[in-house]
């Protein structure tokens, strides 16, 4: 679910825009981190601790264990075709090595040679292989059956609990500017912590068209709801729908997409957003992908009984980003990005430019567990001063730090297949030249999510 500009929902007018935008980014990052971890997990293969050189293999061609270790290192480097050749050579000399054949079938699956992979897996099942090898072979056969289907459905749901130590985004100084003069905040307007119950759900559909250069279409529908315990005026709902195509050719993948978001604050519609995006990516190395993305949003903010100046933020928003994704090892994945945003608004004081830079890292911990972290710097410069606050132009510098730990709940109880538990922490710290917008918040979340797909 990707509802990007939830501006001005989560605080008093002085700090609202930054905090609402941050709220939506929090959900996007959490989902993005889990997705990246899942993608990395799918590619993970545990390698032997000692590096084997090709010269060693040439000197000892009959040492099958050495050859298999070398194949695993080829997998680690992303040389899947080379690993397939090495494993095939081992199986010619020793066709009864069932674990080697299972690894060979897994490599063929990764190469999208589904017919060959299925053939090897059925050889394993037809033999008296160890029970755990048979079980893993059956699991791969299910994956192959799923891959052969042209249309895929995915259902996701998450339920959890959150805590913020500055839910209303109050100034850290307990003061705000009014006509350029500092005013002490009333006790009710100072930092207030709060808890919330969070629910998120989504439905995804993809259709593969196959061919030598596979193409696919996709559609996603999402819903988010956050119910506050104390500050009920900040109850939030969001609906989203999006769709697009993934087109491949000449080594590139081009993904045009479009969508619609609707955001409600305390049961009243606050934002309707229509957006379009275009993403271009290319895998320049087996483990390195470069990408660029452009996005336009038509943000139609509305006034509500709680937010009287919402329409001031109505206007287009343009985002441009460049990034890279690097799988450093089967367990480690890094992401890097730089971005530029241009936000237009009916009230010029709400229009701004943003430059950003971010890095994220995902570590697979084994047994389905993962740790995902990210640090993002955001630098906002506003077009005009809001003279009701100050005649000085507004400049905000923020750092957003995220830490997310996830684990399959089957580690606690085997019947909980498909359920994942996550614990998250986010630190948002912003410094501004205006007292109103200097604030910080720590958010803690605990979620249980379920994924089902065919």
Q: Inform me whether the pLDDT recorded for 114 exceeds 70.
A: yes
- Whether the Cβ atoms of residue 371 and residue 360 lie closer than 8 Å to each other: no
DSSP code string of 208-243: EEETTTTEEEEEEEEEEEEEESS-GGG-EEEEEEEE
pTM for the whole structure: 0.79
Q: Inform me whether the pLDDT recorded for 323 exceeds 70.
A: yes
Buried b (16+ CB within 10 A) or exposed e, 33-56: bbebbbebbebbbebeeeebeeee
Cα separation values, 268 from 99, 230, 233, 291, 305, Å:
59, 18, 10, 37, 8
DSSP code string of 251-293: TEEEEEEEEEEEEEETTEEEEEEEEEEEEEEEEEETTEEEEEE
- Whether the Cβ atoms of residue 405 and residue 147 lie closer than 8 Å to each other: no
pLDDT tens column, 191-244: 999 999 999 999 999 998 866 566 899 999 999 999 999 998 889 999 999 999
Q: Inform me whether the pLDDT recorded for 51 exceeds 80.
A: no
pLDDT tens column, 132-178: 888 888 988 988 887 788 899 999 999 999 999 999 999 999 999 99
Residue whose token pair is 């190469």: 111
Band of residue 53 on the pLDDT scale cut at 50, 70, 90: low
- Whether the Cβ atoms of residue 350 and residue 336 lie closer than 8 Å to each other: no
Locate 122 and state its tokens: 């059925």
Task: Identify the pLDDT of residue 193.
Answer: 95
Task: Identify the pLDDT of residue 439.
Answer: 95
pLDDT tens column, 8-19: 222 333 344 444
In 43-164, at which residue ranges do the beta strands (DSSP E only) sit? Answer: 151-164
Task: Identify the pLDDT of residue 214.
Answer: 65
């Amino acid at each position: 679910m990707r509802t990007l500009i939830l501006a001005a929902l989560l605080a008093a007018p002085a700090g609202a825009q930054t905090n609402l935008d941050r709220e939506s980014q929090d959900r996007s990052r959490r989902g993005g981190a889990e997705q990246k971890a899942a993608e990395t997990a799918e590619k993970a293969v545990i390698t032997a601790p000692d590096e084997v050189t090709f010269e060693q293999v040439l000197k000892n061609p009959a040492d099958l264990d050495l050859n298999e270790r070398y194949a695993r290192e080829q997998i680690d480097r992303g040389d899947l075709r080379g690993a397939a050749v090495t494993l095939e050579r081992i199986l010619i000399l020793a066709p009864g090595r069932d674990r080697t054949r299972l690894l060979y079938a897994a490599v063929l699956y990764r190469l999208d040679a589904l017919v060959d992979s299925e053939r090897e897996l059925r050889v394993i099942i037809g033999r008296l292989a160890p029970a755990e090898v048979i079980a893993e072979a059956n699991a791969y056969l299910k994956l192959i059956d799923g891959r052969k289907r042209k249309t895929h459905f995915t259902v996701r749901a998450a339920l959890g609990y959150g805590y913020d130590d500055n839910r209303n985004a109050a100034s850290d100084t307990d003061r705000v500017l009014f006509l350029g003069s500092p005013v002490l905040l009333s006790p009710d307007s100072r930092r207030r912590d709060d808890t919330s119950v969070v629910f998120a759900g989504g439905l995804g559909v993809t259709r593969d068209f196959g061919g030598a250069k596979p193409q696919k279409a996709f559609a996603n529908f999402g819903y988010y709801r956050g119910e506050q315990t104390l500050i009920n005026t900040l109850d939030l709902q969001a609906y989203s729908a999006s769709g697009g195509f993934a087109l491949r050719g000449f080594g590139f993948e081009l993904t045009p997409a479009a969508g619609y978001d609707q955001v409600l604050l305390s049961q009243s519609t606050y934002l309707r957003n229509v957006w379009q995006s275009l993403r271009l990516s290319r895998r320049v190395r087996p483990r390195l992908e470069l990408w660029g993305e452009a996005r336009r949003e038509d943000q139609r903010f509305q006034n509500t009984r709680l937010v009287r100046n919402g329409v001031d933020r109505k206007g287009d928003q343009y985002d441009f980003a460049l990034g890279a994704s690097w799988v450093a090892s089967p367990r480690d994945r890094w992401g890097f990005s730089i971005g530029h945003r241009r936000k237009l608004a009916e009230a010029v004081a709400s229009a701004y430019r943003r430059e950003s830079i971010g890095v994220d890292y995902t570590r697979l911990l084994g047994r389905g567990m993962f740790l995902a972290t990210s640090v993002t710097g955001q630098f906002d410069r506003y077009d005009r001063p809001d003279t009701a606050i100050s005649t000085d132009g507004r400049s905000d510098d923020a750092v957003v730090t995220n830490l997310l730990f996830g684990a399959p709940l089957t580690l606690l109880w085997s019947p909980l297949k498909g359920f994942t538990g996550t614990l998250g922490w986010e630190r948002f710290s912003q410094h501004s030249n205006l007292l109103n917008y200097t604030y910080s918040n720590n958010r803690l979340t605990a979620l249980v999510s379920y994924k089902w797909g065919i």
